[in-house]
Amino acid sequence: MPSKISERDQLINQQGEQGFWDNQEKAKKVIARQKALEALIRPYEEVSNAIKDIQAMAELAELDPSLESEIEPEVNRACSLFDRFELMAMMSGKQDANNAIVTIKPGAGGTDACDWAEIMYRMYTRWAQNHGFTVEEQDLEPNLEAGIQQVTFKIIGEYAYGYMQSEIGVHRLVRISPFGAGDVRQTSFAAVDVVPEIDDDIQIEINESELEVQTFTSGGPGGQHQNKTQSGVRLIHKSGVRAESRTERSQHKNYDNALKLLKARLYAIEEQKRLGDLEKRYDAKGDIAFGSQIRSYVLQPYTLVRDEREGIDVKVPQVMKVLDGDLDEFMHAYLRHKTAQAHKKKSS
């Protein structure tokens, strides 16, 4: 941690140098890096200060035993601060501090799956807002009957990707369908893909010959523009990776947005290959259906949200609380498991 503190001090010193703002792009990167470090260092300093306070109180209690009762609450507070620091320390990946680009697509389940995808979009929006993050919609394709065909959005905030990487995979919903007749339970699926927003200084070279560019009618904010112009852009890389954007009125802006997303996905795939766990991503498994889910959300005949991944034993009976964005227990368990597996792999 001292090396991180030293790096933070160097970045702060850079901001005091003459001409720092002459290159605004470089200056913004320095500030962004400092903020990411602050998010990690602040919990460390809080734990260190809490331990020092406890040591001082223990020394005073030796002289005055009546002070012993004041130590326990401080120990509990220090333990809570340590848990927070431990969680931040687990996010040590190169892009963990970055914004997250999230895509949700419905799978098996018809209209229910499209509705489920929209519910999940709301769930992640609530989670982001509860943590002080900003959500920026980049692409949304509504479903005619209900729900959405897909949505891509950006979560902007420190370590957004570090947290959201836990959500990559297929999510399964079991409930009484609001779109069917009777009280038959319906199982539907939606897949979540998350990639980090990559920095401009990371060069991802894509030749035009490697791309297929498709344009399509794209609904804007409404009015005459709705479904009238070929402003939507879909980019398909020769590897099969694709990205699209339709929310901007300008085809040029949609092309730029789709290209940024495509580069982020290609970068994420290369990183997954390097780390040797590409097979854990839902899009390497094939169908968004039975047998591939990472989490189940059961509303009937009982209520329970359960993580289905091996080694992550989290079960929460308050489904509506989870659907309102209370995902921390699942995210924290994933990060702890991931860190434990990394240590086990390193020691073997």
pLDDT of 151 higher than 50: yes
Query: How many other C-beta atoms can be found within 10 angstroms of the C-beta atom of residue 55?
Result: 10
Residue 305, classified by CB atoms within 10 Å of its CB into exposed (0-12), middle (13-18) or buried (19+), is buried
pLDDT of 102 higher than 80: yes
pLDDT of 2 higher than 80: no
Please give the pLDDT value at position 279. 45
Please give the pLDDT value at position 294. 94
pLDDT in tens, 172-219: 999 998 887 667 788 999 999 999 988 766 667 787 778 888 887 765
CA dist., res. 192 & res. 175, Å (int)? 20
Considering the entire predicted model, what is its pTM?
0.75
pLDDT in tens, 224-277: 344 456 778 888 888 888 888 887 778 888 888 888 888 888 877 777 666 555
Residue-wise DSSP of 55-107: HHHHHHHHH-GGGGGGHHHHHHHHHHHHHHHHHHHH--STTTTS-EEEEEEE-
- Confidence category of residue 290, pLDDT binned at 50, 70, 90: low
Q: Would you say domain 2-90 falls under CATH 3.40.50?
A: no
- Confidence category of residue 223, pLDDT binned at 50, 70, 90: very low
Domain limits of the chain? 2-90, 100-347
Please give the pLDDT value at position 265. 83
DSSP state of 247: S
**Which residues of the chain form beta strands (DSSP E)?**
100-106, 134-142, 148-156, 169-176, 185-196, 211-218, 229-237, 242-245, 293-298, 304-307, 315-316
The neighbouring-strand residues paired with 101 are: 154, 195
- Confidence category of residue 284, pLDDT binned at 50, 70, 90: very low
pLDDT of 46 higher than 50: yes
CATH of 100-347, one of 3.50.50.60, 3.90.1260.10, 3.30.70.1660, 3.40.50.11290: 3.30.70.1660
Select, from the ranges 82-91, 265-274, 318-327, the one with the highest average predicted confidence (pLDDT): 318-327
Indicate the SS3 state at residue 200. coil
* Amino acid, res. 54: I
